[in-house]
Amino acid sequence: MTSRQAFWRGYRDCAPFIVIVAPYSMLFGVVARDAGLDVLQAMAMAVLVIAGASQFTALALLQDQAPVFIALLTALAVNLRMAMYSAALVPHLGHARLGTRALMAYLMVDQAFAVAVRTYEDNPQMPKAAKVAYYFGCMVLICPVWYAFTLTGALVGQAIPASLSLDFAVPVCFIALLAPLLRTLPHILAAGVSAVAALAFAWVPWSLGLLVAAALAMVTGAQTELWLKRRAEVAA
């Protein structure tokens, strides 16, 4: 596979997510304006953070009059998944130059990671240069759409009928991303624990229950992997 072929394959593989990314980013633009941000501030947040879940979390906390420190801490915790994404991609993209890796880190979004890591795992013989090209093929479609529709939501948000219910895009997006990745017992248990814990700790002020749920899920996944490894060693 040539780099050119890999790039366009990544572009095509991520294309279906536009159906979700467009209303998702438009919803952020609308919510940001409702929260009191002007168009420039909304776009600055979208461009600098480029992480929908943490952006929505920070806005929700600020609207609830939570301290700025709590809003930033919670948004950072939500975004820590990007560090795990990066670690998972190191075996495939770690050979790239520092500047290229920095750009990849900035462009990292859930959709690109989910599509790219699955493709890399399904095609272990994929050339290194093709892997880099594939990743950028995924991102070159997602990011412009994210920026453009955030701006659209910020500019015309008040004119969008409530009946359109743009908030449907948030759960649909993450279900579409998560489901194909639940391939092993640690993944399934971690996802289950996070869902149950998020509901159980929903009463915690300022959405801090999400931090508890995330911590419990990570511990569950890690401990399950260790248990499976010890079990395999004993069986051997």
Rounded to 5 degrees, φ, ψ at 108 are -60, 120
Quick one: average pLDDT of 191-206?
86
Whole-number Å distance between alpha carbons of 119 and 114: 9
Would you call 203 helix, strand, or coil by DSSP? Answer: coil
Quick one: average pLDDT of 98-116?
88
Q: What confidence tier does 9 reach under pLDDT thresholds 50, 70, 90?
A: very high
Q: How much of the chain is helix, strand and coil, in % rounded to 5?
A: 85, 0, 15
Whole-number Å distance between alpha carbons of 86 and 84: 5
Take residue 11 and report the two structure tokens written for it: 């572009």
Q: Which of 52-56, 77-81, 170-174, 207-211 comes out lowest in average pLDDT? A: 170-174
Take residue 210 and report the two structure tokens written for it: 């999400």
- pLDDT reported for residue 175: 64
CA distances from 93 to 78, 87, 98, 111, 120 (A): 23, 10, 11, 17, 10
Quick one: average pLDDT of 37-49?
87
